[in-house]
Structure 1
């Protein structure tokens, strides 16, 4: 599986950010920074592996109707290719920034979406979640990969290491 992380520019250099940790931890992943991407450049980034498919990790968002976004194509899990032929696209930013990235990049709107359901509470105690089920980029991606690869154990060490990162950040904040 290939992973493309599109990071909002205001998230770059954030000590509490999880996208860089994710990119460094998963071989073959790619991190690109931007809010609005040139259409040709984004089209090239969104090319799936040969015979594969590109999917956007993004929740079901009925409020997108207020932004007048077209409904994304339905994702039929039965049509997902083997994991090695999948390109998973992840938007890294606050919820507001990620929605803006989606709004400003019509090619992202055309991708079928993978929404996570029944996710555990966030381990990311150093940032505030506004709703249940809101996870860090690293957590959401790990849960998506577990779901797509049908292998929960593979990404548990990364989540455990993330717990250590969060604990370290909390210790710094308490000084």
Structure 2
């Protein structure tokens, strides 16, 4: 017999995070390329981010066919959030005329995110975006091997905070609620 789950957050009823959910009004459009192995992961932070960010769309897959809508985004205002030597630092991004940004996130372990990047060479048409000042990792229930690791939710929160000077505390509230439930149960 399967556990009853919340219709909104899709967590088991005893670990429902809905009481911590509130929307963030932001202009940035967020497109998530999610590795298939992340979809049903209990600690999937993109699922949490979706609860707070109406401008977030998730595409699941590995191959180009899964991401057709993202491929047609305009290169002049679309960025891939990914650390590399040529990345523009989000803190130094000069936005001409405050144009709306499209942000592409690769969601998966570092190895799977890299695999998504390599299997989708069309991503090269977009500038990469990274952080000059990496915020402290608050996602304590998953230990990443890299020092520069943040959960996808934390990376999105920091980017929106910097780009739009938006209050992203609702993202951290829902993350903390989920982590508290995991630790408790």
What is the TM-score normalised by the length of structure 2? 0.75
Partner of 2:31, secondary structure, is: strand
Aligned to 1:56: 80
Gaps of 5+ in 2: 1-27
Question: For residue 118 of structure 2, what is the aligned residue in structure 1?
Answer: 103
How many matched pairs?
Answer: 156
SS of 2:79's partner is strand
CA contact (8 A) 1:19 1:137 kept: yes
Partner of 1:3: 30
| Number of the residue aligned with 1:148 | 163
Q: 1:114 to 1:81 in 2, by over 3 A?
A: farther
Counterpart of 2:179 (choices 157, 166, 175) is 166
Give matches, 1:33-112, under 5 Å. 33-38=60-65, 42-48=67-73, 53-60=77-84, 77-79=93-95, 82=98, 85-112=100-127
User: Structure 1 residues 169, 117: closer, same or farther in 2, change over 3 A?
Assistant: farther
- Alpha-carbon distance, 1:43 to partner: 4.8
> CA separation of 1:53/1:81 partners in 2, compared to 1, >3 Å: closer, same or farther?
farther
What is residue 145 of structure 2 aligned with on the other side?
130
Distance change (3 Å), C-alpha of 1:165 and 1:149: same
Separation (CA, whole Å) in 2 of partners of 1:100 and 1:91: 10
Distance apart, 1:73 and its partner CA: 7.4
SS in structure 2 opposite 1:96? Answer: helix
Structure 1 position 119, deviation (Å): 2.3
Deviation per CA, 1:3-56, whole angstroms, max 9, x where unpaired?
A: 101100011111111011112220121000011122xx635324447x961101
- Please report the TM-score for the alignment, with normalisation by the length of structure 1: 0.78
Partner of 1:20: 47
Superposed CA RMSD in Å reads 2.4
Instruction: Tell me the CA shift for residue 2 of structure 1.
Output: 0.7
